[in-house]
Amino acid sequence: MKPLADCKLYTFVDTAYLHGRAPELVAQQLCDGGSDLIQLRAKNLSPDEIRAMAEKILPVTRAANAGLVINDYDDIARELDADFCHLGQEDFFDAGHKSVIELWSMERVLRIGLSTHSPKQAQRALAAGADYLAIGPVYATGTKPTAEPVTLEYVRWAAANATVPWFAIGGVNLQTIDELLAAGAKRICVVSAILNAPDIARACAEFRRKLD
């Protein structure tokens, strides 16, 4: 995959939004539209089901020079040699981890992205060695309806202070992207605005044009 610093559009194969579509087909459409990173997020599936799904998606992302991110399961990411694992605060810090090195194996340096919801959490994630940060949810989002929006104020803080690549997430769509970019965001995560679009590849391309 391309260097992380050059990645701008981070999209998802989220089982909550597949609506019966094959995950590898959705991944192909995301790649066709210009996605740099694709996260497999499957909150309702077993580890074995997630592993099987990832095995189908990985050849697609590799052929497109895009990165595959496994959500929640660092063991699956290591086993399949995925590009990244993404973890929430509760999955990393609440599980007792203090450094991403703790998730490496003898054979595998695993790159880790961490969700953050405040400057304090971002600083903690940076100190832990996170390879990238998710900054959000910036806006209210149906993907995580109980999460309190962090607003553009946190985006501006990240633009001034984050020392690794970071992605604005949460309620990102073609109506909100301009003010996100004006606040200093250079990279975005998009879930429902792409997966619910009638043409996934075209929707990706529209975000790509804004970012480029």
The rounded distance, in Å, linking the Cα atoms of 21 and 55 is 16
**Phi, psi of 67, deg, nearest 5:** -95, 140
**Cβ neighbours of residue 100 closer than 8 Å, sequence gap 6 or more:** 110, 111, 112, 128, 129, 130, 131
Residue 144 confidence class, pLDDT cut points 50, 70, 90: confident
Place of tokens 């590898």: 24
Question: Is residue 176 predicted with pLDDT exceeding 90?
Answer: yes
Domains of the chain: 4-211 (3.20.20.70)
Return the structure tokens found at 196.
């619910």
Identify the pLDDT of residue 147: 75
Give 188-203 pLDDT, tens digit per residue. Answer: 999 999 999 999 999 9
Side chain identity, residue 97: H
3-state SS, the chain, equals: CCCHHHCCEEEEEEHHHCCCCCHHHHHHHHHHCCCCEEEEECCCCCHHHHHHHHHHHHHHHHHCCCEEEEECCHHHHHHHCCCEEEECHHHHCCCCCCCHHHHCCCCCCCEEEEEECCHHHHHHHHHCCCCEEEECCCCCCCCCCCCCCCHHHHHHHHHHHCCCCEEECCCCCCCCHHHHHHCCCCCEECCHHHHCCCCHHHHHHHHHHHHC
Distance between CA atoms of 58 and 121, rounded to whole angstroms?
31
* CB contact at 8 A, 89 and 121: yes
Mean pLDDT of the chain: 95
| pTM of the predicted model over 0.85 | yes
What gap in Å lies between CA 161 and CA 62, rounded to an integer? Answer: 32
Return the pLDDT at 107.
77
